Structure 1
């Protein structure tokens, strides 16, 4: 059931110079992940695009993506009350923040969820 892509395919925007193309392909990629992994959960948010103060009805912008696997959500109930949230800022053409949540279960094992 494994599926893997090579590094070059994963870096579509960098290799082609087209940074918009991967964002247009994102919903299809997420749906394919859910097909192969039924416990894969995702939520993609978009926002309206503007040219100055005028709404551009032909385009929408990527806003945020949340993804995880259902076992991460289920296991969260068994984690200690100490949860670490960390983030890093994205630089370059697209700005934003990448957040990571780390918790520890009752057996002292770290549980990482994005």
Structure 2
């Protein structure tokens, strides 16, 4: 069975795809590398048709037709997955190129994110200008700053999760901190108007057990400060630090709060 490989960047007649997302990605990347723009003629659970922008939209013969059939593997149940197969399609473009300004409309931000995953794994602060240069060198396409920025965000979300999923893991994360660091102190404060049975997080404070023990050997001075959190959750991170005998700064306690107020500092 000829199964599509994302690294090969090739599509052939009779090739199978594991999902419709793979079909969409493979077809668009294949056309982008040839300087062509395509649009979807028909998209159904069992059918996927695309053709070039240069062809009239009333033209009956599409450029590519992909047929979805049930693909049952030995280790899968009957309804666990589907495979897409490319039964018909043109071997090459016979139309003229539609890309004039080298800004291909078929290249989406999620495609950029898929192509820069190795760079983001190495450096999460991979700059947008470097992303634009990388896409230009590898795919010969000029991308706008905003599209490259969205592509970097999608790549980060694929590796590290979304803001919502990470924030939802905060409780498990803090519990794991306690289990791995004995004597760690954690104090939660929930919104007083939370729904019964569904407490809404407002503040959380924690101090690691080793920091509590080491404070007895530090200088009797505590410094406190706060910083703004970036992203959709506009909270504040409060930190208390001290100095040890070697004049090195040692963090004592942390707190995540909604606003920097007298109540939250207390």
What TM-score, normalized by structure 2, do the two folds share?
Answer: 0.31
Counterpart mapping for 1:15-26 below 5 A: 19=164, 21-26=165-170
Say if 1:75 and 1:10 are closer, same or farther in 2 by CA, change over 3 A: farther
Structure 2 spans left out of the alignment, 5+ residues: 1-120, 125-155, 255-266
Structure 1 runs not aligned, ≥5 long: 1-5, 51-55
Q: Which residue of 1 aligns with 2:206?
A: 67
* CA-atom RMSD in angstroms: 3.1
Contact map agreement 2:242 2:251 (CA 8 A) in 1: yes
1:107 aligns with: 246
Structure with higher strand content: 1
Would the aligned equivalents of 1:90 and 1:98 in 2 still touch at CA under 8 Å?
yes
User: Does residue 13 of structure 1 match 2:162?
Assistant: yes
The answer on whether the counterparts of 1:44 and 1:64 sit within 8 Å (CA) in structure 2 is: yes
What is the number of residues matched between the two proteins?
99
Q: Which has the larger radius of gyration?
A: 2
- Larger RCO: 1 or 2 (CA < 8 Å, sep 6+): 1
Structure 1 segments (4+ residues) deviating >6 Å: none
Number of the residue aligned with 1:41:
185
1:85 paired residue among 224, 227, 246: 224
CA deviation vs aligned residue, 1:21-56 (integer Å, no higher than 9, x gap): 444432222223333333443223222456xxxxx4
